[in-house]
Structure formats: structure tokens, C-alpha cells
Structure 1
Amino acid sequence: MDEIDRHILRELQADGRLSNQELAQRVGLTASPCMRRVRQLEQDGVIEGYRAIVNPEAVGRGFEVLVSVEVRRERECVEAFEAALREIPDVIEAYRLFGSPGCLLRVAVADLKAYERLWIERLTSLAGVTEVNSQIIMKRVKESAGLPVSAGARRSG
């Protein structure tokens, strides 16, 4: 991966809807080589996909909560818990962590009442769960725009 590839990645992270022509102009290429590079980055798994960024409030999910969950440290419990999380659309991100807490979730629902229902009916009743702690998000200070692509970034493998 060279500097032009990294430039392509930065531009697509900023605006994934750029036309190939516009992207090519921004990175200093003509359309054909630019398209070849983008396709190669996709084939190599560097670009995993493209997504729309949705305003949570516009779709009735403006109430966000970070939830730390402790799960019994038995393989079957952890696997069942993770499988159950995938089936809960209100859990929009989930991470298994080293140490405590064992799992961190990002939940997006309509309001406090909806979160309370989710907490009572789903989260605390999942197999293996021993503790659930909630932190209500007051304000997003910084939001992910993807991984930083710096000049020194190298792909291993």
C-alpha cells in the first residue's frame, strides 16, 4: 500500500459516495487507475464495505447507553450470550473485553422507558449474565470516522 492508496482511503472515509471521477481528481489519478486501486483495496479486504451514517434521533434511537456486562467465564455461557446479543437490534455495538467488565455494549433506543424494558426483559435475563451496569450517554464528543490512515500505516500479512 502506497501513499496514493492511503489518500484514497482517507477520501472514501470522509465521503464514501464520491464518484470515481471525483475521487480520481482528489488523489491525482485518472479514472481507470483509480478504479483499479479501489477494486484492489476491496479485494484485499482493506475496504470492507460502505455504510450510510444515520441520525439516531431521526429513526427513533436518540437515547444511547453504554452497558457493561459481566458474564460467567464459561465457554458455553459466553458463546450463548454473544449469539443472543446478535439477535437484539437495540444493541448496535458489542465488544468482549479482557478483564472487567467482560463485555461492553452500545445500545440505542427511543427513550429511558424503552431502555428500561430492554434492560429488564432482555439484558438481565440472558443466560450467564451476572451483572449489568448502565451509563447514559450525555453527548457525543467525538464519533468514529473509521480508522486513521496515516502515511506510516502498513498492512501486515
Structure 2
Amino acid sequence: MDCIPVKIKNMRPKHELVVPEYATPGAAGVDLHAILEQDLELLPGQTARIPTGIGIELPQPDIVALVFARSGLASKYGLTLINGVGVIDSDYRGEIQVAMINLGHDPFTLHSGDRIAQMVFMPVYLVQFLPVQELAESERGEDGFGSTGR
């Protein structure tokens, strides 16, 4: 598997740099860690932007970093991302923060160093929109929102 070089900067010099790592050899994403001054309790329905302490520089504009929820936090505790998926564009140089919400029934306490999300690197394709009067026919057509069944 090919690796791309991604520069990483410690955006919170008071804290030690926590370099994201793949948890297993087959993992698609690296784990992002919370970097907090103190524990943070998220009440049910509460949202927060959780700092990771890192900034990155992607090596080229046709790569994006996507931030996803960790399945264990989501399925066990209801802790997930507010925006579904976070998009880290190739030209963003600020600290990566994870916008989280507690959809669970109980308060959840985050500690500095906790793994809170995962980041996957993907190719990006730029498009040129071509206005047309008609789109090509397909078997599905305009059917959507559950039209293919459960």
C-alpha cells in the first residue's frame, strides 16, 4: 500500500504532540485524540468542538482528509459528529477540531488523550458542470428516498 507524506504540526505547544496512528494493519483511518485542558462532560443533546492539537499539510490539492465518528463511541454511547463527516481541505492549516454531539441518554466525559474520531485520506476529483436540457435515461430514473427497498 502506498503512503503519502503528510506534514503535522503541534498546534498546542503546552501539550505533547499526539501523532495519529492506525490502530491495526488493516485500518482505513488514523485515530484522532482529544487534547483538553481539563475533562469535558457532554450532557445528552450537548455539542462541543473538541480540539485535537494538530494541524496538517496535505501534499497536494487532489487529496482530502475526512473525519468520521468512531463506531464504538457512536454505538455504545451515542457520541458522534454533528456534521456527519468533517472535511479537511488541502489548503486548511488550522487546528483540526472535531464537532461532536452526545445523542445518548447519559452524560459522557471526555479526557485528554481519548480517541474521539478517525481520519481517512481520499482522492478528490474536481468537476466541470455542463448544463443540459435532459439527462440520460437509467433503469432507476428519478426514484429515490427508499425506492430500492429496505
Which TM-score band applies after superposition, normalised by the shorter structure? Answer: under 0.3
| TM-score computed with the length of structure 1 as normaliser | 0.26
> Which structure has the greater CA radius of gyration?
1
More strand by proportion, 1 or 2? Answer: 2
More helix by proportion, 1 or 2? Answer: 1
| TM-score computed with the length of structure 2 as normaliser | 0.27
